[in-house]
Chain A
């Protein structure tokens, strides 16, 4: 479902007014920090706020959107100085840091007494728990998968999407044709690229952290970095811009036909569907499996409570996100997968073949690494270390050593 701009604008204006009127009357106003930005995300959020306020007279939600890249900067200074919002969105990668800085309130008792809890299998809570205590209610999931150009695959005589890394490499070689300006794989090595570097390392059998201790297997990690960087350096099946390519660039590469495959999660489905036809032009598949493990992330994002002042209203709001209708509003608006198992049974998911790969991934996908300092290490160490291999400034061995050192410093 795509809203055009006018519909969006009218809708959000109406909702904004409704929200304001409600706010004036409401006994309770709670604030909600999040990093939704795009039109489709904001429209869905407004809808969810609207239906929440309709169902909970007397509670008004004031949403504050914060740039994603500066989200933790804002949250950490709020924690440090006491300017906390009532509730906030928490993605899995940031959960450990947020609880470590004592930014979230323990919700274990409330969750245990909540009837909606049964809708969420145990692994939904794992990523949002620390030392046995639950700190957030799962709302939606980022399910990693692969987008590929079905038409390019057909042209190259490939039967289907690759399922293993060696098939992936083979397909890459066939799909690349620099004379047409076409490359097989849109590698993300700019901002956020660390995610896939870590995935490949684990797929080659190197864990990152075990029992709170650094656990990188140097040999396996070097093998992984060599394989992954060779796609760019030796095989040249990746666009030359890769070291600075972030989400925006890999998507533009895919949409303009420069690349045939990109790795991302379900959240970009709507945007790609707007530019290309599902099925004929592009399709989706699970991530290929590495030699030692099949790695694809399923990261649950939830909503937590950051201060006690309005805790009853805040709890109503964060638990509202766990309901099927809210989850499906978000899915239809954006492509984010529901976290609730009940919502996954819904006809709107089971009846749409494009979601098969995501449903498949849910079976084997693993949670992201969850340790204090994970985000800082990934962004400030893994990213530059891998980039410097791509640009020839260091060898895979040096890069892995830097990652190990950085990890030790982060966990110390």
Chain B
């Protein structure tokens, strides 16, 4: 008896604590500690490196160089190509994923009999690791063994097998296709959730007013989905800008620099040339670009406007 009451004592204290005005900060504490613990030092260290010379193969070279790496970027043609490719790659992938995701979510949301199974099938690509997805598509699009080439030749679209990753005009498009295949279920899932929360009455009312499918989409669906879309897009953009793994497997940035993006360029600079100073500077630039994008985007879409008021 006594033991149980003494066990409840701290709980009661916690309950009382929850009535104080510091309660929300206490709630935030564990996750903040967690994040700061793992992130703070690596981040500061990583940023510091970008102002130093740090080339592993030149142990003698070590010291602060100020903005040397950033100035170097200005006259580095590969940086500009990579920047342009990053923008194209991310934009194209996001647009495609959003369109496919919206299509899938709208169709699934109609809840027709037998469509549950489709939901599972459509989600499957999202379950595959990037590594697997990359190699699988490399085989599908292979210029010798690729089934897609074979099908296109049979249908008559192509005359001979095409080397998709060898032609700068198609290489980036092919990688976007792979990325879209892999990433659109994420959108489908989130958008479906968003659609479910739109009251049916709105559509019924609109239909009574004679609004067609396209008008319903424009006037109800998209505005109501705005927050979901905004959040999904921003999370996805961050993910895409930062992860080089798919391109690392599919093209390594080639042919020429046709599929070279910033994350991959930073990775190669660090781990092929061992020039960690320059690689860090590239990363910091990526980070700053993302920050600017996110700030502008959030201001435009106002997703943090919460309902938090107690």
Which residues of A are in contact with B by a Cβ distance under 8 Å?
70, 72-73, 76, 79-80, 96-97, 100-102, 181, 189-191, 239-245, 249, 252-253, 256, 258, 372-373, 375-377, 379-380, 383-384, 387-388, 390-391, 393-394, 410
B119 at interface, CB cutoff 8 A: no
B168 at interface, CB cutoff 8 A: yes
| Cβ-defined contact, B258 with A391, below 8 A | yes
Within the complex, which residue of A373, A387, A388 is in contact with B273, where a contact is CB–CB below 8 Å?
A: A373
Query: By DSSP majority rule, is chain B's interface helix, strand, loop, or mixed?
Result: loop
Chain A residues lying within 8 Å of B270, measured Cβ to Cβ, are 73
B303 at interface, CB cutoff 8 A: no
| Of listed A191, A240, A244, A252, residue having the most chain B CB within 10 A | A244
Closest to B168 in A: A391
Q: Given contacts A76-B56, A240-B166, A391-B168, are A70 and B256 in contact (CB under 8 A)?
A: no
| Cβ-defined contact, A101 with B274, below 8 A | yes
The 6 closest A-B pairs by CB, nearest first: A241-B163, A388-B256, A376-B273, A73-B271, A241-B143, A243-B255
Chain A residues lying within 8 Å of B142, measured Cβ to Cβ, are 249, 252
Chain B residues lying within 8 Å of A102, measured Cβ to Cβ, are 59
Shortest CB distance B153–A (Å): 11
Within the complex, which residue of B56, B252, B255, B268 is in contact with A388, where a contact is CB–CB below 8 Å?
A: B255
Chain B residues lying within 8 Å of A372, measured Cβ to Cβ, are 57-58
Shortest CB distance B263–A (Å): 14
Query: By DSSP majority rule, is chain A's interface helix, strand, loop, or mixed?
Result: helix
B62 at interface, CB cutoff 8 A: no
Distance, CA A73 to CA B251, complexed state (A): 18
Question: Interface digits, B122-149 against A, CB 8 Å rule (1 contact, 0 not)?
Answer: 0000000000000000000011110000
Distance, CA A80 to CA B276, complexed state (A): 11
Chain B residues lying within 8 Å of A242, measured Cβ to Cβ, are 163, 166
| Cβ-defined contact, A380 with B166, below 8 A | no
Distance, CA A372 to CA B61, complexed state (A): 14
Which residues of B are in contact with A by a Cβ distance under 8 Å?
56-59, 78, 142-145, 160, 162-163, 165-168, 171, 251-258, 260, 268-276
| Cβ-defined contact, B256 with A410, below 8 A | no
Q: Given contacts A240-B163, A241-B143, are A375 and B256 in contact (CB under 8 A)?
A: no
Chain A residues lying within 8 Å of B162, measured Cβ to Cβ, are 240
Closest to B60 in A: A100
Closest to A255 in B: B144
Show 14 residue pairs from A and B whose CB-CB distance is below 8 angstroms, ordered by the A residue. A72-B272, A73-B270, A76-B274, A190-B166, A241-B144, A241-B165, A249-B144, A373-B273, A375-B272, A376-B274, A380-B269, A380-B273, A393-B168, A410-B273
Chain B residues lying within 8 Å of A241, measured Cβ to Cβ, are 143-144, 163, 165-166
Closest to B160 in A: A181
Chain B residues lying within 8 Å of A97, measured Cβ to Cβ, are 56-57, 274
Chain A residues lying within 8 Å of B252, measured Cβ to Cβ, are 190-191
Shortest CB distance A404–B (Å): 14
Chain B residues lying within 8 Å of A383, measured Cβ to Cβ, are 254
Chain A residues lying within 8 Å of B163, measured Cβ to Cβ, are 239-244
Closest to B169 in A: A391
Chain A residues lying within 8 Å of B168, measured Cβ to Cβ, are 391, 393
Within the complex, which residue of B58, B255, B260, B276 is in contact with A244, where a contact is CB–CB below 8 Å?
A: B255
| Cβ-defined contact, B56 with A244, below 8 A | no
Chain A residues lying within 8 Å of B254, measured Cβ to Cβ, are 190, 243-244, 383-384, 387
Chain B residues lying within 8 Å of A101, measured Cβ to Cβ, are 56-57, 59, 274
Chain B residues lying within 8 Å of A252, measured Cβ to Cβ, are 142, 144-145
Closest to A189 in B: B255
Can you name 13 extra interface pairs (CB under 8 A) apart from A376-B274, A383-B254?
A72-B271, A76-B271, A96-B57, A189-B255, A240-B163, A240-B166, A241-B163, A243-B254, A256-B145, A375-B272, A376-B272, A379-B268, A384-B254
| Cβ-defined contact, B256 with A384, below 8 A | yes
Distance, CA A214 to CA B167, complexed state (A): 32
Shortest CB distance B77–A (Å): 9
Closest to B270 in A: A73
Shortest CB distance B228–A (Å): 37
Distance, CA A394 to CA B268, complexed state (A): 22
Distance, CA A316 to CA B144, complexed state (A): 46
Chain B residues lying within 8 Å of A70, measured Cβ to Cβ, are 271
Distance, CA A245 to CA B162, complexed state (A): 13
| Cβ-defined contact, A387 with B256, below 8 A | yes
Distance, CA A243 to CA B168, complexed state (A): 9
